[in-house]
Amino acid sequence: MQNKKRVLVTGAGGFIGHHLVKRLKAEGNWVRGVDLKFPEYEASAADEFEVLDLRRWDNCLMATRGDIDEVYNLAADMGGIGYITAFHAHIARNNILINAHMLEASRQNDTKRFLFSSSACVYAQSKQKDAEVVPLREEDAFPAEPEPGYGWEKLYAEELCRYYWHDYKFETRIVRFHNVYGPLGTYDGGKEKAPAAISRKVALAQDGEDIEVWGDGKQTRSFMYVDDCVEGLIRIMGAITATLSISVPTNW
């Protein structure tokens, strides 16, 4: 039987973080959840849940206290494409502060491993203009041409994780999320992703009524069920290689 670990999940009030906490608890781990808010639709399974603003250095030190073995850093100012294209400076500033502070606080408090949640928004925009585009590979993030604001911030934070391994031998993991869906996900308010937004529009539409979907109808997207996402996170965190950069596939 595996040893019980002490795990910190930031962004535990969000969709993926909430599901990750439940899975970690089901496997017998002690879990601290941290976020700006509690989960919207269900109480957290975390042993401790603390409402903290992780843009502040002192709060990051507090979150990582107490012999934490692993940090899943899912905290981020994010949302659907409408949100992340409207607030470049606001989003980039918030996330830069969260990620830089959480990395350093985790290192100073002797956390054993740190996972950073990046995004498919790091990929070069010029490689996503054609509806016949071939599936993207990890290396397609370079030469760098990510989504403005949110994508640039995520790409640099990936590099920062690599610097922490190179300079301090602090073990980091990097994942790139793309359209995770499933139960208990945000479905309105401007920060919902495409699957939830489309489902909401269909559910609210009257018989025979049209719904609006962005684009010209030729775009393709990858979607990943939240349980598969959580499975990927746990496998990647448990991998032996010291620094990983992995796009979790949709058919894990």
Q: Which residues are known to be catalytic?
A: 150
DSSP string covering 18-70: HHHHHHHHHTT-EEEEEESS--SSS----SEEEE--TTSHHHHHHHTTTT-SE
How many other C-beta atoms are found inside a 10 Å radius of the C-beta of residue 57? 14
Task: Report helix, strand or coil for 233.
Answer: helix
Q: In angstroms, rounded to a whole number, what is the distance separating the alpha carbons of residues 55 and 118?
A: 17
For residue 196, what are its two tokens?
């939830």
Burial of 220 per CB tally in 10 Å (0-12, 13-18, 19+): exposed
Q: In angstroms, rounded to a whole number, what is the distance separating the alpha carbons of residues 236 and 176?
A: 12
194 closest CA partner among 72, 84, 73, 44: 84
CB 247 within 8 A of CB 178: yes
Q: In angstroms, rounded to a whole number, what is the distance separating the alpha carbons of residues 46 and 28?
A: 11
Q: In angstroms, rounded to a whole number, what is the distance separating the alpha carbons of residues 14 and 49?
A: 12
